[in-house]
Structure 1
Amino acid sequence: MEQLTDLKSILHSKRANLFYLEHCRVMQKDGRVLYLTEAKNENQYWNIPIANTTAILLGTGTSITQAAMRMFASAGVLVGFCGGGGTPLFAGSDIEWFTPQSEYRPTEYIQGWLSFWFDDAKRLAVAKQFQLTRLEFIRTVWENDRDLKTEGFNKDAQDITQALSSFEKKIPLMQKVGDLLLEEATVTRQLYKIAAIRCDARGFVRAPEQGDLANRFLNHGNYLAYGLAATTLWVLGIPHGFAVMHGKTRRGALVFDVADLIKDAIVLPWAFICAKEKMKEQEFRQQILQKFTEHKALDFMFDSVKKQALQPLSINSGGVA
């Protein structure tokens, strides 16, 4: 494949943009990638800064030219087709991306990942470490984000401290991934309840198919997180099928594992806050992307996955030693 190296000068972990587009045509024009929107009296062209973009989600009413796809691939941009509002990603329940083809990605991360993945005990140890890392990120974000503190999301609040600490104490005791998943689902439900109380959404039930704002925003924000996770794994050269938490038979399962590192810290609270304020979908999306950037979510994903891929694991009764 032709290598346009000048388009790869910005590391993926430092790129600023993730796009969701709908009702437009994506094309190449004069050496740039643009999207065209049809206004009442004239067509409008908008530039996509591909060298500073990690992923593109193409929603309802979109099309893309072969030339544009070629430039996306040259710049290392992942492209995914999805439904309206960014959800669901097609096809089926898998995470499906058009990934650029490159033979120059590093090999040490997939080799390190496979060195533990076929050992059940070591894979469980990494799953536990991912959950501890997830809790660490929640505490860090909720401690440093003034906007979240204003809305009552303070890591030192009694109900939040209790939910996180209870899960943290149980993690080393888990003997199976299935047990860990059950406990993870329990703490997530507790965080939903905490967010619902703070945002006057009592009676909230997490149901992705429901059309209320909070559920829609959770769907939308989660799929943006999946875009960052897919980018992280593609750049590090780790196939999506080598999951440590979600089902090993699901091709996109590792994307879910990596996205979970940041979802509860950023997407969950802001979905409820923005729903309370009755924001439009585009406003919510901008808020989430701003917070991803502010808290360096993509950097955090890269660092977390690289750490588990490269550090040798020793297993004891408590998990990762």
Structure 2
Amino acid sequence: MEDFSPSDLKTILHSKRANMYYLEYCRVMQKDGRVLYLTEAKHENQYFNIPIANTTVLLLGNGTSITQAAMRMLAQAGVLVGFCGGGSTPLHMSCEVEWFTPQSEYRPTEYLHGWLKFWFDDEQRLAAAKTFQQARIQFLEKVWNKDRELKLEGFDFNNDAIQTALSTFNKRTGDAKKQSDLLLTEAQLTKVLYRFAANNTDIKDFTRQHQSTDKANDFLNHGNYLAYGLAASCLWVLGIPHGFAVLHGKTRRGALVFDVADLVKDALVLPWAFICAKENATEQEFRQQVLRAFTDHKALDFMFETVKQVALQHYTAEAIEAQNL
């Protein structure tokens, strides 16, 4: 059988990769041409393999370390690596860098060129933001109408309160004259979704708090950061810097990650955060549920499709062909 080099692993499309890992209290290393993580048990050390060819994001939490050799293999396989706090939140690293991004001189450039082609025009950037907002609702409709588990938990897309809120959302989104109008409309819809989810799961007096100890808020924070990992991976693969946001503030260097993550948060993270809080699930159980939902509903695929559509909307076939010469 012919041997593969780590760089050959990048031939597996990132949008088709299945795994996103959060590790804590372990050591990540390279051994016999594989990337492993080592945990210290009471009587012996245990090694577990990380299938880097099928992995998009590796989050390293409390008590972790990584060797240079492992980092080299992860970079060659195109795996995004980030350091974070406990439970995968918050993301942090020295020098205000959130992600180690593998270096490659041969990533596609047409998506960056297409993005910049419209980004400096206020009207076109607003139109792209509206496209993102419309896409997130389409994904919400698709997921909530398809997912039997969510339906059994009462998350019905055709609920009167949801439809009324979406009708208002669609009208105000279409009428929006600037990004702040869209953000206000988004905030109003999100409040309705929170209220609907809280009532649906019998969680009393819910208030969204980013610094909180109640499970629903903790799970929302946790799930959102998992979505940020997928979004960062999508943008790295397409070669679009995180600072070129279309909706969130232009002065925030990671704002485009928030834009892309928002495509899937309402549909997947929000309902499962409340369901798992109602069931008093552990952090690990919630994480496994959300990651499974991401895979089942092809969340990363949807991010790629949406970002590529927006990036290439003003990019001619002739320009794409010229890039490939």
Following the alignment from structure 1 to structure 2, what is the Cα–Cα distance between the partners of residues 6 and 111?
26
Task: State the match for 2:323 in structure 1.
Answer: none
Following the alignment from structure 2 to structure 1, what is the Cα–Cα distance between the partners of residues 85 and 74?
20
Tell me the SS of whatever aligns to 1:109. Answer: helix
Structure-to-structure mapping, 1:124-163, within 5 angstroms: 124-163=126-165
Letter in 2 for 1:311: Q
Q: 2:271 aligns with which of 254, 269, 272?
A: 269
Contact 1:94/1:252, CA 8 A, preserved across alignment = no
Structure-to-structure mapping, 1:206-285, within 5 angstroms: 206-285=208-287
Tell me the SS of whatever aligns to 1:44. Answer: strand
The structural deviation recorded for 1:192 is 0.6
Structure-to-structure mapping, 1:13-32, within 5 angstroms: 13-32=15-34
Structure-to-structure mapping, 1:1-321, within 5 angstroms: 4-91=6-93, 96-312=98-314
Following the alignment from structure 1 to structure 2, what is the Cα–Cα distance between the partners of residues 93 and 281?
29
Following the alignment from structure 2 to structure 1, what is the Cα–Cα distance between the partners of residues 95 and 302?
26
Deviations 1:174-198 (A, max 9, x none): 0110111111111111101100000
The structural deviation recorded for 1:4 is 3.6
Structure 2 gap ranges (5+): 316-325
Contact 1:240/1:254, CA 8 A, preserved across alignment = yes
CA spacing shift, 1:155–1:280, aligned 2, 3 Å: same
Shift >4 Å, 4+ stretches: 91-95
The structural deviation recorded for 1:165 is 2.0
Q: Out of 6-15 and 86-95, give the one that drifted further.
A: 86-95
The structural deviation recorded for 1:202 is 2.2
Q: CA RMSD in A?
A: 1.4
CA spacing shift, 1:82–1:196, aligned 2, 3 Å: same
The structural deviation recorded for 1:87 is 0.5
CA spacing shift, 1:92–1:176, aligned 2, 3 Å: farther
Deviations 1:227-252 (A, max 9, x none): 00000000000000000011111111
Tell me the SS of whatever aligns to 2:177. Answer: coil
The structural deviation recorded for 1:6 is 2.2
Question: Sequence identity, in percent?
Answer: 69
Following the alignment from structure 2 to structure 1, what is the Cα–Cα distance between the partners of residues 97 and 212?
21
Following the alignment from structure 2 to structure 1, what is the Cα–Cα distance between the partners of residues 300 and 44?
37
Deviations 1:294-314 (A, max 9, x none): 00000000000000000129x
Letter in 2 for 1:101: Q
Contact 1:95/1:255, CA 8 A, preserved across alignment = no
Contact 1:50/1:72, CA 8 A, preserved across alignment = yes
Deviations 1:218-271 (A, max 9, x none): 111101100000000000000000000111111110000000000000000000
Following the alignment from structure 1 to structure 2, what is the Cα–Cα distance between the partners of residues 85 and 257?
22
TM-score of the superposed pair, with normalisation by structure 2? 0.93
The structural deviation recorded for 1:93 is 12
Following the alignment from structure 2 to structure 1, what is the Cα–Cα distance between the partners of residues 307 and 96?
21
Task: State the match for 2:319 in structure 1.
Answer: none
Task: State the match for 2:321 in structure 1.
Answer: none
Structure 1 gap ranges (5+): 314-321
CA spacing shift, 1:4–1:44, aligned 2, 3 Å: closer
